[in-house]
Chains A and B, each alone.
Chain A
Amino acid sequence: MEWIKKMLEGDKRACAKLITAAENNPDEAEKIIREIHTHTGHAHVIGITGPPGAGKSTLTDKVVKSLVDEGKRVGIIAVDPTSPYSGGSILGDRIRMQDLALNPNVFIRSMGTRGYLGGLSKYTKNALKILDAAGYDYIIIETVGVGQSEVDIVKIADTILMVMVPGLGDDIQSIKAGIMEIGDIFVINKSDLFGADRTATEVNMMLDLTMDMERRPPVVKVVAVKNEGIDNLIREIKSHIQYLEESGQLEKRRKNNMKLEVVELIETELRKIVISHTDKDNKLDGRVAQVYSKEKNIYEVRDEFLKAIRKDN
């Protein structure tokens, strides 16, 4: 493909076109990913997650500026929610990243979730691979504003920043399961506000309760709009990268994620086979009628379908 060649040469428009193709059409996505696979795996992926209004976009802006000042190339994927009613969305993360738009070493792409619930879009992974192949040193993925259980970012990021702000709840919030477990670095943003010390203390106490942690995540206080504490945050990010590389965790994490991805791909194809069987001659309707009339139970029906599928494949 012509666009792939251009993308590998660093052309931003080609990169954008490929992301669109991979976002709209699974077959196109497969073609692209097959071709660029050997070019991927070089970028360090930083996930930025946290509740709506915590300052994820502003923090992204500041972190990226700092990395760009070091001479790095940075790609950003900013995800915002898609309306479940119209399928449309308003993607507004760029508002906080105005100064970056013209930087030759920065590429920003906004994505709608398009019905996907894990805090990302189903296609974020594809976009990530394209930016990786395009040679960006760091790729920042900003999730939608998350609640308590949108943890898909762990499946694609190497380093996860969990952004929190003072005043969102009592200390029981911080010992719940879910997003509080996935942070590699906890960032307390807006830490010039009342209650910031308390929030930091609560997070620290929560982290001290976990016994079997290989590496205790640091808690970093920042004021992103004022660019305060960003240097410290960058140091912590680098220290995490160093830890991942030296401990072998980077390879382990990435391999784990690849396993999930392969299984997911297989499941997608298997599902197609299953549907082609159940839909054929309204077979499923017929079987369900038998279950309803107590002629058969659900497991007998399952076994019949499995038998038929095995015979055909």
Chain B
Amino acid sequence: MSKIIRVLVAKPGLDGHDRGAKVIARALRDAGMEVIYTGLRQTPEQIVAAAIQEDVDVVGMSLLSGAHNYLFPRVVELLKEQGADDILVIGGGVIPDDDIPGLKEAGIAEIFTPGTTTTEMIEFIKNNIKDN
């Protein structure tokens, strides 16, 4: 039996716009993945606790408030502290191009900005999750 990919779709930060996150969740569901959606305004600590208990392969964060430079790396850092740095972390939202290299350096595997198709994202997940 092949393993079903589990993804945590998370909304860190204080913006209340989760339409994008829900579209992504739906697309991943239709691609045969189990998507755990935790709702709005999650702290990095809450996201990491959920990721560990749910034993997900991927954490996907959507953020539109501008706080990505703090919140995204913080999640990566906390995962590492818990020994769970095998989890693939990706992000999306309105992220300025200039911020992307820094985020990747901090351990976010990919940033998906407006215009990305859901197919591209699904392919990226399938090609980059770690076998464990």
Contacts and interface: CB of A to CB of B under 8 A. Distances in A.
B130 to A, nearest CB: 13
Of B36, B38, B52, the most chain A CB neighbours within 10 A belong to B36
B55 A16 contact: yes
- Mostly, the A contact residues are mixed
Contacts of A276: none
Contacts of B82: 13
Interface residues of B, number: 30
A150 to B, nearest CB: 20
A95 B36 CA distance: 9
A109 interface: yes
B67 interface: no
B50 A94 contact: yes
Contacts of B84: 13
Interface size class of A (residues with CB under 8 A): 20 to 34
Contacts of A20: 6, 55
A92 interface: yes
A17 B49 contact: no
Contact of A90 (B3, B35, B50, B52): B35
A89 B52 contact: no
Given A24-B1, A94-B38, A88 B50 contact: no
Contacts of A86: 29-32
A24 B3 contact: yes
B80 interface: no
A25 B1 CA distance: 7
A108 interface: yes
Interface of A: 12-13, 15-17, 19-20, 24-26, 82-83, 85-92, 94-95, 98, 101-102, 107-110, 112, 114
